[in-house]
């Protein structure tokens, strides 16, 4: 059986208010071609289909048009789980209708755990894969809140709840395998942050986690999973070096931090209990480029790009000591008549504020939320004996904020 694994489409996302629908449409057209070219039997989409819980009509149109086109192709199954950006109820609303087209949607943890276990069958009706389709697990899905529990206790119980959820799904899958002759591989899908995974600055992922909060260990996945298709992290990567536990990554750069990242989908070939994985590179539909330097360096860099007839979207960071009050106007003058567009302009001098001195080559976006807090305490010479209590209070505030965002 041949699977295509993708995730984190974030349909509807913009870049500094600039529409990216042309990129999304180009990617979905490319994906349709790949499903045909590779003779894929199933498409697995591991969450964050949309960028927000209330996607716009254009994003919805792209989604449903793609699903209709895929249902009419040689790809027999599509399996979609929700991510933390998705509205579980929105994704679930048309699931009964989509099931008629062999499009299986698991938008939220179902009341009956067996509803997460899908038996995908070939054209002759024979089971060829048992799939644990586990959506993004919110706190209410895996644990009950207790009065007075600490952040550490809460996290221990959360990780334990996720572990138990996957263990239960694996046990139900084994039962399905036994019911279907005993020679059917098991795969799983999930949308979560596994410890050891890599995220990028400004991608909206790493800011959700403080220290180890929210991270789950890789050993939560039972050994008899032939393949684990993960979503949530935007860089394509293996988990702890394991070939068959992977993040496919987002298909488009989610910001300038991913400008040089090669995006891909995973082509998975299952033969019995073993899986072979290959990466299929996604074309670049819109170039992102970063320029950094003093005025002369920026001017030279833009002239080179102009000579190349570049159509890149630009993030420009000015690092010179000279005060240039009309910096945006001067940059736009350099770009007049080109296809390049400036999306972000930063003045590195403005970072030398409440955080104290910014190190050479450093930007505020390079710092995670903990480091910003540490710099603030340093700049205000907070006594060492007061810092542990302040750190704990800060972690609790952040955890509470991100919990509220997920609801």
| Domain-terminating residue out of 234, 263, 281 | 281
Residue 297 and residue 251 share a domain: no
Q: Is 17 exposed, middle or buried (0-12, 13-18, 19+ CB in 10 A)?
A: exposed
Boundaries of domain holding 182: 2-281
Strand pairing of 264-271 and 313-318?
unpaired
- Residue from 65, 45, 61, 55 nearest 89 by CA: 55
Q: Is 397 exposed, middle or buried (0-12, 13-18, 19+ CB in 10 A)?
A: exposed
pLDDT of residue 382: 85
pLDDT of residue 217: 83
Residue 397 and residue 338 share a domain: yes
DSSP code, position 8? -
Residue 150 and residue 181 share a domain: yes
- Strands, DSSP E only, in 25-173? 42-46, 77-81, 103-106, 117-121, 127-133
Task: Calculate the CA 137 to chain-centre distance.
Answer: 15
pLDDT of residue 360: 47
Residue 248 and residue 373 share a domain: no
pLDDT of residue 102: 93
> Count of CB atoms within 10 A of residue 188's CB?
26
pLDDT of residue 6: 98
**229 phi/psi in degrees, rounded to 5:** -100, 110
Strand pairing of 127-133 and 117-121?
antiparallel
Residue 311 and residue 277 share a domain: no
Residue pair 45/81 in contact (Cβ under 8 Å)? The answer is yes
Residue pair 338/331 in contact (Cβ under 8 Å)? The answer is no
| Domain-terminating residue out of 247, 281, 315 | 281
| Domain-terminating residue out of 246, 281, 316 | 281
pLDDT of residue 352: 56
CA Rg, the chain, in Å?
Answer: 23
Residue pair 314/287 in contact (Cβ under 8 Å)? The answer is no
Report helix, strand or coil for 265: strand
Residue 224 and residue 337 share a domain: no
Alpha carbon separation from 25 to 140, 184, 251, 296, 361 (Å, rounded): 35, 35, 12, 38, 36
Residue 357 and residue 247 share a domain: no
Residue 310 and residue 205 share a domain: no
Residue 309 and residue 277 share a domain: no
Concatenating the DSSP letter of every residue in 174-212 gives: HHHHHHTTS---EEEEEES-BTT----TTSSSGGG-STT
pLDDT of residue 248: 96
Strand pairing of 274-281 and 264-271?
antiparallel
Domain harbouring 388, CATH code: 3.30.160.720
First CA to last CA distance, the chain:
37
**339 phi/psi in degrees, rounded to 5:** -95, 0
pLDDT of residue 208: 47
Half-sphere exposure of 242 (CA within 13 A, CB side): 21
Domain count, the chain: 2
Strand order in the sheet with 313-318: 288-293, 313-318, 341-347
Q: Is 226 exposed, middle or buried (0-12, 13-18, 19+ CB in 10 A)?
A: buried
Domain harbouring 16, CATH code: 3.60.21.10
Residue 342 and residue 265 share a domain: no
pLDDT of residue 232: 93
Could you list the pLDDT tens digit for every one of the 407 residues in the chain?
A: 999 999 999 999 998 888 999 999 999 999 999 999 999 999 999 999 999 999 999 999 999 999 999 999 999 999 999 999 999 999 999 999 999 999 999 999 998 999 999 999 988 889 999 999 999 998 777 766 666 667 677 778 888 889 999 999 999 999 999 998 888 999 999 999 988 777 765 555 544 444 444 578 888 898 889 999 999 999 999 998 899 999 999 999 998 988 889 999 999 999 877 899 999 999 999 999 999 999 999 999 999 999 999 999 999 999 888 888 889 999 999 999 999 999 999 887 665 554 555 554 455 555 677 777 888 888 778 888 888 888 888 888 877 765 554 45
DSSP code, position 15? B
Residue 251 and residue 324 share a domain: no
pLDDT of residue 212: 44
DSSP code, position 353? S
Residue 30 and residue 77 share a domain: yes
């Amino acid at each position: 059986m041949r699977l295509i694994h993708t995730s984190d489409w974030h349909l509807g996302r913009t870049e500094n208010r600039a529409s990216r629908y042309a990129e999304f449409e180009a990617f979905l057209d490319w994906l349709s071609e790949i499903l045909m070219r590779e003779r894929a039997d199933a498409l697995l989409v591991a969450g964050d289909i949309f960028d927000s819980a209330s996607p716009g009509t254009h994003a919805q149109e792209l989604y449903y048009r793609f699903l209709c086109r895929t249902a009419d192709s040689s790809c027999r199954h599509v399996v979609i789980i929700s991510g933390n950006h998705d509205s579980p109820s929105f994704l679930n609303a048309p699931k009964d209708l989509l099931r008629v087209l062999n499009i299986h949607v698991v938008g939220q943890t179902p009341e009956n755990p067996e509803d997460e276990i899908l038996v995908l069958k070939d054209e002759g009706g024979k089971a060829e894969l048992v799939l644990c389709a586990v959506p993004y697990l919110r706190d209410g899905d895996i644990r009950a809140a207790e009065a007075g529990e600490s952040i550490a206790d809460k996290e221990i119980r959360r990780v334990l709840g996720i572990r138990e959820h996957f263990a239960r799904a694996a046990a139900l899958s084994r039962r399905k395998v036994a019911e279907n002759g005993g020679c059917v591989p098991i795969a799983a899908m999930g949308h979560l942050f596994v410890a050891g995974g890599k995220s990028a600055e400004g991608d909206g992922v790493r800011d959700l986690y403080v220290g180890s909060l929210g991270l789950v260990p890789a050993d939560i996945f039972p050994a008899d999973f032939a393949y684990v298709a993960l979503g949530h992290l935007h860089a394509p990567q293996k988990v702890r070096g394991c070939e068959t536990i992977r993040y496919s990554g987002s298909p488009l750069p989610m910001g300038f931090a991913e400008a040089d990242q090669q995006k891909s989908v995973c082509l998975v070939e299952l033969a019995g209990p073993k899986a072979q994985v290959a990466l299929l590179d996604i074309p670049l539909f819109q170039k992102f480029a970063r320029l950094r330097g003093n005025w002369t360096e920026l001017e030279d860099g833009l002239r080179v790009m102009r000579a190349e007839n570049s159509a890149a979207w630009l993030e420009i960071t000015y690092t010179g000591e000279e005060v240039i009050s009309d910096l945006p106007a001067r940059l736009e003058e350099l770009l007049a008549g080109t296809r390049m567009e400036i999306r972000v302009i930063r003045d590195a001098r403005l970072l030398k504020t409440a955080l104290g001195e910014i190190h050479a080559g450093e930007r505020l976006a390079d710092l995670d939320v903990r480091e910003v807090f540490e710099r603030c305490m340093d700049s205000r010479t907070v006594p060492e004996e007061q810092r542990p209590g302040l750190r704990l209070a800060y972690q609790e505030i952040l955890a509470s904020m991100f919990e509220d965002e997920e609801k």
